[in-house]
Structure 1
């Protein structure tokens, strides 16, 4: 028979033999070797003769240390959870550059453990420990569940049947290549090639996607507020419809092209774990939306006064209300797309990372089309080229104002 040395050793009735097996196992463990006890029994396992201890070396994968180092740089805390002996776990942790504050799970976890209700002192230990050795499936599950209760987002890797409960409980269970069917079924992410380096790639891509979703949400809320309040306030205060039905349809179509390319945009990758902060997102988008409304309403009032009082404004002269509708159409299209540059990052819009080429050219193409439509009178009343330039200058000036406001919001909400 073969098995864990501490279990096989109990077959012998000689204490010296038992001690020698355990000492040999500890000596091998301190060098990072696993041990397998071998014995022979002639009475169905009641007693036995110890034949020896086999040493086995199971080194970490070549990319494990680099992956762990990369995860640490991403602000992720990495813990070791293993069924191996504590000494082996500590030795392996040293080779991987991990913390060596590793506990024997069989000693610190109660025998009548309820994984869903871990004692308070054990919860604190789980948070502080660098890892646990000699763990059983219920220990792994309890560790994951406890970390989640403490507010952490937990990812776990594993390959065996005994990992399945914890993989299922984790926010992102990851089954490594060659994992059992049970582990693969329980995991949310399955690695198809050997090694762990792809985990860091997954983290980076996930954070990029998160940043794109955040950018889109802030942009969409702010732009919707702008259009909605412009139409409502103009109708109430001036008894004037700033947009025709065809303008709204064309504007929606022009907005769709840049919005679709947000999925391919270059984004700043956070160096620490990020969470969905609905309050922060709504606050940012609402404040930007309010100032976007001010931007549009100010131009509307200037244009409206120019129509009602010809000659009262020397620089920005509007001939009639139909032209004013075209002006507001172009302002919303141009200003809305420039707002996208502001919402896509928390710093100046002209700093790295620059917009992805597909996003940049999507905006350029739609703006060229909108300008041509306004100058040539496609779908909208015609306005002069000079007036188109004035609207663009106005929007660019407001782009800097909105960017400053965005950075102030980020600073205040940190």
Structure 2
């Protein structure tokens, strides 16, 4: 009885201590924050701070147990409570180089354009000269222009942020229950055994990581934060983003040299933003967010202006074309009016009004809203636009490079055959392949998944009971094979190698023939290649399987052990073409996009699939041939050939680079680790939501469905977006040139100003409002058939060709007002100005419909409902201003009714002449 009471008391005491230690564990967590703050706190400046380098070097040289203790972490990781508390202290694991501007800075950026500053100057001059009406009108124009741009860009940024949020990257993190801290202390201090829950591996959003987290890394993973390697197996990391090194760097658990001063040379530190090429590792997070090396570099980069993209450079060239035109024409207007009228102040104001009328002040708003609309439409078609400018490149693309598996073919791989060396079905080969796929910890591809779907093999082998994994030799893209070493009942070790046929054969010296292993002679090698070629010719993906028995004397194996293997057979996979592939390729070809297949796969399988989907594959260029070709030879080959096989990542990048050098706008679609260099090199990188992290980060556009048909829809939308932007530029350029030409003529021969500065500003404001709906306009089918690019030279020619057309009818209006209505004296200038105000606004608004299409407007090509509504409203308002009760506020007057039949005749003649000029221009130069 006493013994039972003693046990009961001890259990109560144990629970009390466990509760106390749980509390102590939480308190220890707060002490951890202080220690961690001293370890990772750095004040990031425009340069990488010395404190950050010292922190990383200290973490590299520190003993792993001591480092984990300083971070108050362990190999079991942090608990959710600890992670939450640390996140409150250190913030999210994000580098805020893309942090949105505060609203007031965004508003200032919308305002501080040369055009709005010029308008503000005019408003100030009007206020000083007591012209309050002009001040009100000009000020309203500034406010309206800035607010429209601010509202539209804010809306666009929110839409883009929502689209980006749909693409999330995660990291594999080890987390444990907070009570484990108490359990550890209970064992240490009271010798009380409490059975803990096993730590679990969780997929956690990268932004949620905190210092002290234990991350598990494998091939294809992006390094989520600056981390110290705790254990590694053949770990190779690409640090090109940091150092520019083209080759991956091997990382280890220990730092060999203790006198390293450069953090980038540390052998056991992983940097945020780099990626794992091959191998596996566990690492502890040392620094997150802006405290990382990448964060410091990013802040230095964002302190300087970003280089303009190709799209932005094209927009800027067009804008400066119009601005240079303004710098030439404005002084001419000033001097002509100054000398002919004698009133230099009025001439200056009028010249400033001309300058405002010539400035494409709505260009940023039109471009942004058009791109944003395109991005939202693409999102409904399962296309996520990470960078809005990429939409124009989408439309300009004329060459699409893509991989084969999952794009031309189905994502589902089927294990079709498992044969011995001579092509006969063999269960032994399937069992060996199963063990290899089951025990490998690297990036499991679709082939491994297809093997592991054979549940009957798992039941028969019972790996958990009959086998023990000894070691692993991970896959890399140079060897193109991987191996595992297993122990069966501890009797012996078996190395099982699986990979590309040629690469596995390079490691083999024998072949299995029934129960006998024979030397791999040249004759047998030829037979082996004939068997695999036959399988490839049937459209099967062949993976070779080899093995070797080893004495159970080692627990660690490396690449050198992949020698003297015995080839035991093959596993062959079927990846049939998608039913949608052939129609999608035809649709892309119809829109001027040629498709080229760049794959690391076997040339026979690739050629068969390509022929089935309608791609020319009589000549397949291999990676080995590319190695022997100079850039000049390869440059000719990439233009003429469509299929490239057995490529390395460097080969893919080189093909894309030379296609760009040949003048093509190149898109690259890929989802693997080996696609990242080509994705970055292409004009537009395209990936999918199931891609590895580094591929998604390198891409400009991400597809939620890996289908060329979805891509074809995106190309069309990109071209619609570009077509609508080009409409605005053509309208603005030709209309502005026509107005200025008309003003020059009127200024030279009329004894008064043909329009007051206020009239020009109001007219320009109304014209701009009429164009707000251009992003929502319909686009003719002919305009999306071919790739489209910026060409400022064509725009300049278009401006000079169509601008004078409106001037013909402006001059006609001058003559009508002068001779028909007698508005030929200074006393009658208000009547003259009212007549030209209406006619000028009408022709400017009609040019929107005339130039939006090469067809007959309203009949062969109908505008969008929004554009039709805004232009109709502005035309009605343009008539109402002089004819209504507020005419005197604008220094205008009502016109006699006989004016309007004459106006309609002038407008009809304008439309007829413009249409004829469009036909001539299209025949000679093409429309777009």
Q: Common fold, TM-score beyond 0.5?
A: yes
Deviates more, 1:98-107 or 1:158-167: 98-107
Secondary structure at the aligned position of 1:367 is classed as helix
Distance in structure 1 (CA, Å) of the matches to 2:573 and 2:863 = 53
Distance in structure 2 (CA, Å) of the matches to 1:65 and 1:309 = 69
Q: What runs of 5+ residues in structure 2 fail to find an aligned partner?
A: 1-496, 511-519, 551-560
Q: TM-score, with normalisation over the residues of structure 2?
A: 0.42
CA contact (8 A) 1:108 1:122 kept: no
Aligned to 2:883: 375
Residue pairs, 1:90-169, within 5 angstroms: 90-110=607-627, 118-169=630-681
- The structural deviation recorded for 1:351 is 4.2
Distance in structure 2 (CA, Å) of the matches to 1:54 and 1:277 = 53
CA RMSD of aligned residues (A): 2.1
Deviations 1:252-289 (A, max 9, x none): 23212221111111112332222222212211122111
- Which of 342, 353, 360 is the aligned partner of 2:868? 360
Distance 1:8 1:29, change over 3 A: same
Residue pairs, 1:2-401, within 5 angstroms: 2-10=498-506, 11-13=508-510, 14-15=520-521, 16-42=523-549, 44-110=561-627, 118-268=630-780, 269-306=783-820, 320-379=828-887, 380-401=892-913
CA contact (8 A) 1:5 1:21 kept: no
- The structural deviation recorded for 1:307 is 5.2
Distance 1:104 1:410, change over 3 A: closer
Distance in structure 2 (CA, Å) of the matches to 1:248 and 1:309 = 19
Distance in structure 2 (CA, Å) of the matches to 1:286 and 1:344 = 17
Distance in structure 2 (CA, Å) of the matches to 1:132 and 1:101 = 11
Deviations 1:179-208 (A, max 9, x none): 111111111111123433221111111111
Secondary structure at the aligned position of 1:40 is classed as strand
Deviates more, 1:100-109 or 1:361-370: 100-109
CA contact (8 A) 1:258 1:359 kept: yes
Deviations 1:12-31 (A, max 9, x none): 34124433332222111111
CA contact (8 A) 1:371 1:388 kept: no
Deviations 1:153-172 (A, max 9, x none): 11111111111111111111
Secondary structure at the aligned position of 2:594 is classed as coil
Distance in structure 1 (CA, Å) of the matches to 2:715 and 2:687 = 15
Aligned to 2:489: none
Deviates more, 1:373-382 or 1:92-101: 373-382
- The structural deviation recorded for 1:64 is 2.4
Q: TM-score, with normalisation over the residues of structure 1?
A: 0.91
Structure 1 segments, 4+ long, off by >6 Å, are: none
Aligned to 1:313: none
Distance 1:62 1:192, change over 3 A: same
Distance in structure 1 (CA, Å) of the matches to 2:803 and 2:621 = 55
Deviates more, 1:218-227 or 1:324-333: 218-227
Q: Which has the larger radius of gyration?
A: 2
Deviations 1:23-67 (A, max 9, x none): 222111111110111111236222011121000112334432222
Deviates more, 1:381-390 or 1:352-361: 381-390
Distance 1:252 1:119, change over 3 A: closer
**Structure 1 or 2: more strand by fraction:** 2
CA contact (8 A) 1:103 1:131 kept: yes
Deviates more, 1:378-387 or 1:258-267: 378-387
The count of aligned residue pairs is 401
